[in-house]
Amino acid sequence: MTMTSGRKPRKPVLRRLSRNSPTASFIEALETDGCVVVQNFTDQETLAKAQREVQPYLDVDEPASLVGALQGSTKTCTRLIGRSSTVREAFFADSLYQDLVDHFLSIKTICYYGSESSINICYPLLSVAITMDMRPGTLAQKLHRDDKNHHARHTAATTYHANRDMLLGLFVPGCDTSRENGATRVVPGSHLWGDEKPDFGEDGTKGVIDVELKAGDAFLMLGSVYHGGGHFARDEGSRTMHIMFCCCGNLRQEEVSYLSYPVEDVKGYSKIVQDRLGWRQSEPNLGWVDLKSPEFLLEGQY
């Protein structure tokens, strides 16, 4: 006889965990809610350094992009891994983020050569790294899933299972974020929805939460979560957000990293960043040069 508690499943929420919390706590939050806030992820000095590195690109006098969910009033710094060493090594290479990337996005399979088995691991890659600077006049984005770029298909589920997602994002704000300055809006739990038309209620706010952050916090989100930038309601100022997404290693990356980051620059990056940019062969046979894992090119062995 099976005993049940009779309790209803917990309503998805936006949890806030200290950077020093166990990795297992972040995994549980992401599996249950699809997103989580990381408190005390970084410090003010590091944020200021990152801002100085990206600011010249945000100040370029040219029309803002209309690509995807952008609306022409958000300035961007692309090629972010190369243009900000602070974002690259302090944020993107952060051990918590990378441990979670490995947990959610690594693919482990067994294949056979005759009757002999072979265990292979496909490690994740950087999909995109970009700084977005929202300015006055920016309207709220329509709620969407970022894994649309990979034509992801979703089956409704009540619990999470391994390899359900193909993207994991890290958002690091350069300032406090609030509803007034366009904080990201998110729908916790929507990572377990299927592909049917979503129901956000008549006013579009059903289940939607504003991700209000303190400068120094970060936000983690699976690519299957419905979300969107908020409306920048202030008459002046801006809201800077450093955004990084990793994807499963068998997918095409959103940003073409091999063209964005020259090999001579990549030689100076940390090993984990080199690997995430694709300078490590994926087992068994994806991503080689001259039938070898491409690390040798970083060592000058042409």
Domains of the chain: 15-298 (2.60.120.620)
CA-closest candidate to residue 38, choices 227, 217, 223, 176? 217
pLDDT below 70 — which residues of the chain?
A: 1-10, 63-72, 301-302
d(CA 164, CA 144): 17
* 220 and 154 Cβ atoms separated by less than 8 Å: no
For residue range 168-221, what is the model confidence (pLDDT) as tens digits?
Answer: 999 999 999 999 999 999 999 999 999 999 999 999 999 999 999 999 999 999
pLDDT digits (tens, 9 = 90+) for 33-50: 999 999 999 999 999 999
